[in-house]
Amino acid sequence: MILVADSGSSQSDWMLALPEAKPLSFITKGLNPFFVNEKDIAKIIQHAEEITPYADRVSEVYFFGSGCSSPDRREMVSNALSQLFTNAFISVETDLVGAAYATCGSRKGYIATLGTGSDISFFDGAEVLPTRQGMGYVLGDEGSGVWFGKQLVTKFLYGTMPVDLAGKFQSQYRINKEIVIKNVYQRATPNAYLASFAPFMGEYSKHPFVDDLLRAGFREFVITNIKPFPDYRDYVCHFVGSIAFYFEPQLREVCEQYGVKVGKVLRRPIKELFDYVVQREKNYEIQL
């Protein structure tokens, strides 16, 4: 049995290939090794009741996750997974690799993630090439849920959010300076906390303030992360993540202004990623 995971900082999507049946799908918390340790990752997986009955029969695990950019963090995730999937071959790659498989397949192109965080790289048809991007929620993550959440919270606390929206924001989230500081500086997963405010934009996406904010965030992403590539106009750029998906109209308009060719825009690439990995492994078996 093949198990595939696409993991962000807020949520992890899983699909398991079952013999003579439809794939099993389930969701767990995000498993970004920058914010959760090996023990926590193992605990989260072991409490996923959907997969427990099949754990000893899983033969291959392909995990694609945010925060898995270095060998030590990939090893952390691999060690945690091996505690439950004791008979499985385990592969851990970055979420960008998974996004590339889900959108590009075997074709060349740019692949960007706009979810809780943001990142971009070029896929040459075989590998995702290393870049200078992907600086994380403190130094980067332009145009992401974290970036937008930070903008909303700070503008609300500084009193620069329009009065009509500020009232709705306060009614929905009931926050103040002390609450925000505690969650950002003293508790785990501050990136997920900041990104949790981004859905507010979906409710008021037509408000001029929100519309301007969305366009500003996407411009920041394009200018900082896409334009530095000298050949960015020559290839399609695919996007994955909830921010890209829910605010696709504004994203496409900003990209068009800068000559970025937008390809697929997927909210959650797990289905396409699962299909790619399963077909790849079948082709490999046939070649053998």
Quote the pLDDT of residue 285: 66
Kindly tell me the sign of the dihedral angle through the C-alpha atoms of 278, 283, 286, 288: negative
Strands, sheet with 2-7, edge to edge from the N-terminal-most edge strand: 24-29, 11-16, 2-7, 60-65, 89-94
The pLDDT tens digits of the residues spanning 27-45 come to 998 898 888 889 999 999 9
Mean pLDDT check: name the lowest of 52-66, 128-142, 211-225, 266-280.
128-142
Q: Give the model's pLDDT for residue 287.
A: 61
Structure tokens at 106: 């075997």
pLDDT value at residue 235: 95
Residue 284 has pLDDT above 70, yes or no: no
Identify the three-state secondary structure at position 2: strand
pLDDT at residue 288 is higher than 60:
no
Domain architecture of the chain: domains with CATH: 2-102+269-287 (3.30.420.40), 106-266 (3.30.420.40)
Q: In whole angstroms, what is the distance from residue 122 CA to residue 107 CA? A: 11
- How does pLDDT run across 54-112, given as a tens digit for each residue? 999 999 999 999 888 889 999 999 999 999 999 999 999 988 899 999 999 889 999 99
**Which has the higher per-residue pLDDT, 154 or 10?**
154
Q: For 236-249, write each residue's pLDDT tens digit.
A: 999 999 999 999 99
Q: In terms of Cα–Cα distance, which of 140, 157, 244, 162 is closest to 202?
A: 244
Taking residues 4-33, report their average pLDDT.
90
Residue 282 pLDDT grade (very low, low, confident, very high; cuts 50, 70, 90)? confident
Percent of the chain with pLDDT over 70: 96
Decide the pairing of beta strands 109-114 and 118-123: antiparallel
How much is the pLDDT for 67?
A: 84
pLDDT above 90 (res 10): no
Q: What is the pLDDT of residues 122-169, one digit of tens each?
A: 999 888 887 776 666 677 688 999 999 999 999 999 999 999 999 999
pLDDT of residue 271: 94
pLDDT value, residue 105: 87
Contact (Cβ atoms closer than 8 angstroms) between residue 146 and residue 10 = no
pLDDT tens digits along 107-125:
999 999 898 888 889 999 8
Q: How far is CA 250 from CA 82, 96, 155, in A?
A: 42, 22, 21
